[in-house]
Structure 1
């Protein structure tokens, strides 16, 4: 995905994350969490501050730069990329907080950016309690749950029952070590439980305008999050293509006279897969560029929001199909651990099931395209 060049120091910081993630890539497969050195590299990198407002000590990068940073890390390790895909856009959540509340949550100039994670599934309850709100429940699939420093958990507003996102300090959540998915195993996307009192002001609605009227916060927030998920899927498929190329030069199927690379149907499958992925990624690039230009000039029109969600979903589904096709085409040669094709297949299948890029995202885009009705979470 195209983006403006980052400052040299930032590029070096991201490269440190990539190198560390690449070295410890197998650790996540065995332990269902990233290696401690990878978590530390992510924490020390620009990722937690990428979308954080400058007023809160953040970098406030352009949308394309955030997306590209996530893809770079995912090329080193999709699980580390997935963690980055959650933490990088999460800073934009804070753009809906007033400065005083942000300070209460430990956000501000001179303070280390929080590693923000959470759940958009309104799995808990928020009930009035002596001038505060008692938030309780269990939220599944919270990426980086054991390492996050600030949680954002969705629950209905006790006043009008619309969904709000409640800010909870790490000390007030309990992590359930239940992450045992087939792919993206290092992302540590565990469940969390919570039963705590919060000021009502420690919550936001993501469908409301941001406090800061800046291009990054006019860019669709759900679109930015979906774009980061798509960046991980794209990187996974790119790695799958690279792994297949390497395998195809040496693996010779039984009863074949030459390696896979010299077999006509295999050549056809590879060319089709590479072209589909390139086309889907190029389409995402063009929609991001168009929406970013709109955000720089004002509000992003509904049609462009729909185009973004449709393009992200298409890229993710294309990436999953590419990984599956290459895994199947490789035959028994892909079953060995020295070939990472089966891991790419598993990782891409898990990424494709995220709600932002699965059927719900496509339905929101299609609803606007067909009926002109724009949902608030488009």
Structure 2
């Protein structure tokens, strides 16, 4: 995604990278920690919590920043370039503040009191798997269930957990202190994301739930931008950054690796050259499609309304970029041959991380089907 800059009161030029420099430095320094411990290093968690990212999409009346959608996506991509697992955490938490824009402001403030410090900003995440059940309990609802794949589960201060109701699926906002976290995240990729299962049996105020397909209760370009599309774009940005790193790693490895029976380095083999050129072109094309679709949707949101056709293109672009990124990582991993098998090379890690990222429901087959349904039948608008 294209870097979005804004000008602070001092008049000096300020970029996305400036906003998250501390997160990126910590993520690069402790990248290997997540592979070994299935969670980010404590210094990375602290840097994330203290950064603007948890407040990026949070309403201003909750102490949020209400960044533009392109700004949020670019910030996620930059963090993911430092470490995909840290980028994944950013991809989940940065857009999640927009959930509270779907509550009446007084209720949102109850869940997220305004604060002058980024340290006090909420860490919001959850699960869209409707694994919960609800039942009336006086003026509250009893929420029970077990939800898998909850990113940063031990760090959440507020969890949005999906449950089916008579009105459809709703996300119930539960304090992190009410969650029981199961230490079961042992995946092949994005190992540092701590995407554990959580469960709860708790009473939730009836008003503390949202439907993500409902319009926001407050106006603003960020909240007119499709929330599902924003989350999908953030996830795709993690895959994109991972594929970019894989291409860089392959180019570096190709200068020194000498395949058996070859007279020169891998870089001089026609087959390797073809693989690299094709992979670079595919990623560039998918990235350009993502930039165009996201840029058009943001332009429409700023002007007033994002039509369903633009929403479908945004979802299709996110799914395509995630899938293409995974294919690129696999392609250069295979093209590296035996030289790519060693963990001293980033190639195998990129392949694993991109494979996991591309399986998220927002950018996997379900996301493509929704986009295609809207394009062909006009029937998926509310879920885009």
TM over 0.5: yes
Residue 195 of structure 1 is matched in structure 2 by: 201
Aligned-residue CA RMSD (Å) = 1.2
Unaligned runs of 5+ in 1: none
Report the TM-score, using the length of structure 1 for normalisation. 0.97
Q: How many residues in Structure 1 have an aligned counterpart in Structure 2?
A: 376
The answer to whether the 8 Å contact 1:10/1:46 transfers is no
Aligned counterpart for 2:155 among listed residues 118, 123, 147: 147
Residue 4 of structure 2 is matched in structure 1 by: 4
Report the TM-score, using the length of structure 2 for normalisation. 0.96
The Cα offsets for residues 39-87 of structure 1, whole Å up to 9 and x where unpaired, read as: 0000000100111111211110110000000000000000000000000
Aligned counterpart for 1:298 among listed residues 298, 301, 304: 304
The Cα offsets for residues 228-250 of structure 1, whole Å up to 9 and x where unpaired, read as: 00000000000000000110000
Unaligned runs of 5+ in 2: 9-13
Alignment map for 1:352-363 (pairs within 5 Å): 352-363=358-369
The structural deviation recorded for 1:11 is: 4.1
Runs (4 or more) in structure 1 with deviation over 2 Å come to 6-13, 106-112
Counterpart of 1:376 in 2: which secondary structure?
helix
The answer to whether the 8 Å contact 1:20/1:41 transfers is yes
Alignment map for 1:1-378 (pairs within 5 Å): 1-6=1-6, 7=8, 8=14, 11-110=17-116, 112-157=120-165, 160-378=166-384
The structural deviation recorded for 1:97 is: 1.2
The answer to whether the 8 Å contact 1:102/1:108 transfers is no
Task: Give the direction of change, closer, same or farther, for the CA distance of 1:127–1:305 in structure 2 (3 Å limit).
Answer: same
How far apart, CA to CA, are the structure 2 residues paired with 1:337 and 1:208?
Answer: 46
The Cα offsets for residues 103-143 of structure 1, whole Å up to 9 and x where unpaired, read as: 22133244622000100100010111122100010000000
The structural deviation recorded for 1:4 is: 2.2
The structural deviation recorded for 1:30 is: 0.2
The answer to whether the 8 Å contact 1:249/1:259 transfers is yes
The Cα offsets for residues 238-278 of structure 1, whole Å up to 9 and x where unpaired, read as: 00000001100000001111111001111011000011101
The answer to whether the 8 Å contact 2:232/2:315 transfers is yes
The Cα offsets for residues 157-176 of structure 1, whole Å up to 9 and x where unpaired, read as: 2xx24111101011111110
